[in-house]
């Protein structure tokens, strides 16, 4: 019989949810506490008391950064192996996505308030941003113990009226993304796509472009944090689709064993109003196709756990990846058995609708409402960016791609 060699407490907000244990065979198990009243995941319901390594690696491992360089830097900072999920969670799991805090046994749960925030001068913020590739998540800052999933360099910060800072222990309000050195213009393109989606009435996270010295960065407001007052925040639980389906981050793409669109739509049966969630997700799928956000994989959609209700979370990470040649030009999830956008015609969309149980005429109405308005909306957002002096040539490429995509989709659906 395996014996437990280490243990962490898992909290949902201030409630002890259970314990994450590392067994002698280096596999993890999670056991709900007797007082747990909410599941940590729709894929880990309360009626099953314990869950094994597959669920633990997918759900808890899905809270950690995915990039090898980031994990190596974090491992070096805390003296642990970058491949050891359990040790990384012990090191930076106190402030995770959603309402989770993963801490050593007996340790105090991070507060909901924002009393201990280290405000940064513009120079300090710029220095931290420049160091992000070497010091992911600002891990070198004393007291920082937070985690964000994903590959791109980013950090979680707290935005107050008096400036931007880093909390010592409490929750953060925004995610900060610098531009990518290897692909300049990505954050500008993300801003363009996010603002265009918002203008079309799509539920997305709020974004801003700001500057620190000569560096432009993107601020994304966290939808899993609700500000109750100037100094008080409430964490709202969330999980991405891969976590909800017990699929590890390394398999987030469908071709690698990740979720398909059919899987994603089926997952929405867990939401409070499945019909509404399905309409929102299909709108997101069409929008992603039109803006050539080809990297819309299973970790780029999430469920938001509200008070006794589960909803589809606002969209995030919307980028016209086709504007960057080094990005994959295939869809993260197939449409009608095809991954290449140029192969997607009316037949493929009809096949998708059959797979997910959606009316094809209803789909066409959603598509028409987007392709008929998106080109002018994207042009307007680009013009706004240019007038503010915060645009990039990648945005001009993106608008041309978006306009062409809309024209093409209209022609293909109305043959």
Helices (H), 9-140: 53-59, 68-78, 85-92, 122-130
Distance CA(383)–CA(378), nearest Å, equals 9
Token pair of 169, please? 């222990």
Which residue in the list 295, 317, 337, 355 is annotated as catalytic?
295
Q: What is the DSSP letter of 357?
A: T
Token pair of 287, please? 């929008």
Residue 295 among the catalytic residues: yes
Distance CA(38)–CA(14), nearest Å, equals 12
301 touches 316 (CB < 8 A):
no
The three-state secondary structure class of 345 is: coil
Helices (H), 153-312: 186-199, 241-244, 261-267, 274-290
183 touches 326 (CB < 8 A):
yes
The residue with tokens 């437990």 is 4
Token pair of 341, please? 């956008």
Token pair of 217, please? 């960065």
Token pair of 292, please? 């050539």
Distance CA(8)–CA(147), nearest Å, equals 16
- Residues designated catalytic: 295
């Amino acid at each position: 019989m395996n014996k437990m060699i280490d243990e962490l407490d898992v909290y949902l907000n201030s409630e002890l949810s259970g314990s994450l244990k590392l067994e002698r065979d280096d596999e993890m198990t999670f056991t709900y506490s007797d007082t747990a009243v909410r599941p940590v995941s729709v894929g880990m319901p309360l009626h099953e008391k314990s869950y094994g390594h597959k669920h633990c690696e997918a759900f808890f491992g899905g809270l950690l950064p995915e990039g090898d360089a980031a994990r190596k830097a974090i491992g070096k900072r805390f003296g642990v192996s970058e491949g050891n999920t359990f040790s990384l969670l012990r090191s930076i799991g106190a402030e995770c996505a959603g309402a989770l805090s993963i801490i050593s046994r007996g340790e105090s749960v991070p507060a909901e308030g924002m009393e201990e925030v280290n405000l940064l001068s513009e120079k300090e913020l710029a220095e931290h941003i420049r160091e992000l590739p070497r010091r992911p998540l600002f891990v070198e800052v004393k007291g920082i113990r937070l985690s964000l999933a994903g590959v791109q360099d980013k950090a979680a910060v707290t935005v107050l009226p008096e400036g931007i800072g880093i909390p010592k222990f409490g929750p953060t309000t925004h995610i900060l993304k610098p531009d990518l050195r290897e692909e300049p213009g990505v954050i500008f393109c993300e801003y363009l796509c996010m603002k265009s989606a918002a203008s079309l009435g799509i539920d997305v996270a709020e974004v801003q472009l700001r500057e620190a010295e000569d560096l432009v960065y993107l601020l994304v407001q966290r939808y899993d944090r609700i500000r109750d007052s100037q100094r008080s925040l409430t964490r709202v639980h969330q999980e991405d689709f891969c976590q909800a389906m017990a699929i590890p981050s390394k398999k987030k793409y469908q071709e690698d064993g990740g979720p398909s669109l059919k899987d994603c739509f089926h997952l929405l049966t867990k939401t409070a109003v499945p019909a509404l969630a399905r309409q929102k997700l299909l709108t997101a799928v069409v929008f992603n196709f039109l803006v050539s956000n080809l990297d819309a994989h299973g970790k780029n959609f999430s469920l938001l756990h509200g008070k006794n209700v589960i909803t589809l979370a606002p969209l995030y990470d919307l980028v016209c990846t086709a504007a960057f040649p080094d990005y994959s030009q295939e869809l993260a999830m197939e449409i009608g058995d095809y991954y290449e956008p140029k192969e997607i015609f009316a037949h493929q969309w009809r096949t998708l609708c059959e797979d997910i149980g959606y009316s094809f005429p209803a789909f066409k109405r959603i598509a028409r409402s987007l392709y008929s308005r998106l080109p002018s909306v994207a042009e307007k957002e680009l013009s706004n960016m240019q007038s503010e002096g915060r645009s990039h040539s990648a945005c001009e490429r993106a608008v041309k791609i978006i306009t062409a995509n809309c024209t093409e989709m209209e022609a293909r659906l109305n043959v």
